[in-house]
Amino acid sequence: MTDLTKLTIAAARDLMAKGELSSRELTEAHIKAVEAARPLNAYVAETPEMALAQADAADAKRKAGDARAMTGIPVGIKDLFATKGVHTQACSHILDGFKPEYESTVTQKLWDNGAVMLGKLNMDEFAMGSSNETSYYGPVKNPWRAEGSNKDYVPGGSSGGSVASVAGYAAMGATASDTGGSIRQPAAFTGTYGIKPTYGRCSRYGMVAFASSLDQAGTITRTVRDGAIMLESICGFDPKDSTSVNMPVPNFEAALTGDIRGLKVGIPQEYHLAGMPAEIEALWHQGIEWMKAAGAEVVDINLPHTKYALPTYYIVAPAEASSNLARYDGVRYGLRVVPNGGGLNDMYEATRAAGFGDEVKRRIMIGTYVLSAGYYDAYYLKAQKVRQLISDDFKRAFEKVDVILTPTAPSAAFAFGEKSDDPVSMYLNDVFTVPASLAGIPGASVAAGLDAQGLPLGLQILGRPFDEETVLRVSGVIEEAAALKAEPKVWWR
C-alpha cells in the first residue's frame, strides 16, 4: 500500500472525492506519522482524538454531499494560532498552561472548510527567530541533512515546526505566520512551498501578536497547488480585525494556469549581495532562465533602499513587540512568579524574567529603548520614514513589472549553534524576505534546487498587493521547471 502521508492535498482530495480514500484512513496514517516524527520535535501538542473526531465528521459531511476545499485533510497548526481548549503558547514559557476560550479566525476558517487538526506546531518563541532555536520547547530538527552527514540542521524560523512537519510527512499542510520572513525562509530551508499573502488578507484575530503591522498568516505545503488550496481556505475579510481588508478572495487554484507569457519579471539589482554563495547566485540565474523559457520578459529593476530594510525592521518589529508583549504580566493567564513577600512590580519583573527567553527579552529591550523618551524620533520615527521609502520602492517597481524574483535566503539551512551566538548574523538570514514584509506585499518561496551538500534552496516570488494569483502562477512555473525529485531521506521514523 502507498504511504498515505506522501500524498499531496490535491491528490488526497481527489481520491476522497472518488470515494477511494476516507479522511479516517488518511488521518490515522498521519497520526502515526506524527508520533513517528517526534525526533523532529515539530509538534508541541498532539491532538489525535480531536483529529479522529474531525476526520469522522469530515467523512460524514462528504457522504452528505457537503465537501469543501479542505474536507478531511489533516494539517498542523502553528502554536501561535489560538485553538479553543488546546495548548496555545506561541512556544513561550510565559503562556504556561494557557488554553484559550476562543478560536483564531484562520483556524476557524480551516475547520469550516473541513480540515482536521493533528496538533500544535513548534516555533521560535513569539515567532522571534530564524532557526527555531528560541522555542521554550526546544529546537526543531530539519528533516533534511547534508548528504552523508548525520549532523542536525535548523529548519529555519520562526515557522520551524510547520515546515518540518510538512517536509517530514507529518502533516499535509500547516499554518504559519510571517513577520519578517518566518514562512518563506523556513520553506526555503526545507524544500517546501511557503506563501504569505498580502497584509490584510488573513485575519490576525486570535493570532498571538509579535509585530502587528507585519504579522500575516500563511501556509506551508509540499506543492504550489496545495498552497493555493490551503491559502484560499484561510483568507477572507474579518470584521474583528481592523486591518483586515474587505476584498473578495479569488479562486487561487484556478490561477495555476502555467501560462506566464508576456509577464514582466523584475530582478532587483540590490539583491546581488557581496559574499553570497555562488550556488545561490547560480540558482537565481537559473530561475531567470526558466522565466525566459516560459515566455516571460525579464527586466532589471532597482529597489534602492533594500539595504536599510533589516535595520528598519529591527526597530519597528521590536517596538511593536515590546508593547504587544506587555500583556504577559502574570495577572490573567499563563505564568506567575511572585518572589517571597514581593509586591506587584516584583511579580511583573520576576514573571517576565522567568517567562521570556533571551531573544524575546533582547527584542523587548530594544523595542522599549527605541520608543523611550528622547529616542523616539531618532529611531522609531526614522524607521517608519525609511519604511515608507521601502514601500515606495516596491510601488515604483510594480509600475514596471508584474512580479519580482529573488533568492529566498542568502544561504541554505545551517547546522545548530552556527549562528546563535551573534544576534546580528542571525538577523541577516532575513535580508531578502524582510523588505516585502515591511511593504505588506505577498511573497512566496518555492523549492528550486539543492546546494552542493544536497540541502534545498528556494526562490522568492513577490507580487503586487492583493495579486497572490500571479505569485502562485509564477511559483507553479518554477516548480514545474525545477522538477525537483529529491526528498529528505527519512532518518527520524
Under the binding rule (CB under 8 A), the answer on residue 345 touching other proteins is yes
CB nearer other proteins, residue 142 or residue 322: 322
Q: Is 55 exposed, middle or buried (0-12, 13-18, 19+ CB in 10 A)?
A: buried
Of 57-65, 234-242, 279-287, 478-486, the window that binds other proteins (rule: CB under 8 A) is 234-242
Catalytic residue among 104, 162, 165, 182: 182
CB nearer other proteins, residue 49 or residue 101: 101
Under the binding rule (CB under 8 A), the answer on residue 410 touching other proteins is no
Figure out which of the listed residues 293, 378, 486, 490 binds other proteins, where binding follows CB under 8 A: 378
Figure out which of the listed residues 423, 453, 484, 493 binds other proteins, where binding follows CB under 8 A: 423
Q: Any catalytic annotation for residue 182?
A: yes
Under the binding rule (CB under 8 A), the answer on residue 296 touching other proteins is no
Figure out which of the listed residues 17, 254, 293, 331 binds other proteins, where binding follows CB under 8 A: 331
Q: Any catalytic annotation for residue 158?
A: yes
Please give the span between the terminal C-alpha atoms of the chain, in angstroms, as a whole number. Answer: 18
Catalytic residue among 23, 92, 158, 445: 158
Q: Any catalytic annotation for residue 420?
A: no
Q: How far is the CB of 347 from other proteins (least distance, A)?
A: 6
Q: Is 63 exposed, middle or buried (0-12, 13-18, 19+ CB in 10 A)?
A: exposed
Distance in angstroms (rounded) separating the CA atoms of residues 205 and 104: 6
Q: How far is the CB of 440 from other proteins (least distance, A)?
A: 4
CB nearer other proteins, residue 33 or residue 335: 335
Q: How far is the CB of 202 from other proteins (least distance, A)?
A: 12
Q: How far is the CB of 275 from other proteins (least distance, A)?
A: 16
> Could you tell me how many residues of this chain bind other proteins (CB under 8 A)?
97
Pattern 121-140, other proteins, x by CB under 8 A? --------------------
Figure out which of the listed residues 311, 416, 484, 487 binds other proteins, where binding follows CB under 8 A: 311
Contact positions with other proteins (CB under 8 A) in 447-486? 465
Under the binding rule (CB under 8 A), the answer on residue 233 touching other proteins is no
Distance in angstroms (rounded) separating the CA atoms of residues 187 and 202: 19
What is the number of H-type helices and E-type strands within the chain?
15, 11
Rounded (10°) CA dihedral 377, 382, 383, 385: 130
Phi, psi (rounded to 5 degrees) for 207: -105, 120
Under the binding rule (CB under 8 A), the answer on residue 404 touching other proteins is no
Figure out which of the listed residues 251, 257, 269, 372 binds other proteins, where binding follows CB under 8 A: 372
Distance in angstroms (rounded) separating the CA atoms of residues 364 and 52: 40
Contact positions with other proteins (CB under 8 A) in 100-119? 100-102, 104
Q: How far is the CB of 430 from other proteins (least distance, A)?
A: 14
Distance in angstroms (rounded) separating the CA atoms of residues 124 and 183: 12
Strand partners, 449: 457
Figure out which of the listed residues 356, 394, 398, 492 binds other proteins, where binding follows CB under 8 A: 356
Distance in angstroms (rounded) separating the CA atoms of residues 160 and 140: 6
CB nearer other proteins, residue 22 or residue 158: 158
Distance in angstroms (rounded) separating the CA atoms of residues 167 and 262: 33
Please give the DSSP secondary-structure letter assigned to residue 163. H
Across the beta sheet with 443-450, what order do the strands follow?
A: 43-46, 116-121, 74-78, 173-178, 216-221, 193-196, 443-450, 456-463, 403-407, 264-268, 297-301
Q: How far is the CB of 195 from other proteins (least distance, A)?
A: 18
Contact positions with other proteins (CB under 8 A) in 75-104? 81-82, 88, 90, 95, 97-102, 104
Tell me the H-state helices in 120-277.
160-167, 184-190, 224-234
Q: Strand 173-178 relative to strand 74-78: parallel, antiparallel, unpaired?
A: parallel
Figure out which of the listed residues 22, 190, 223, 322 binds other proteins, where binding follows CB under 8 A: 322
Angle at 32 between CA 30 and CA 34, to 5 degrees: 70
Pattern 381-400, other proteins, x by CB under 8 A? xxxxxxxxx-x---------
Do the Cβ atoms of 78 and 90 come closer than 8 Å? no
Q: Which three cell numbers stand for residue 291?
A: 522565466
Contact positions with other proteins (CB under 8 A) in 170-209? 199-200, 204-209
Q: Active-site residue numbers?
A: 78, 158, 182
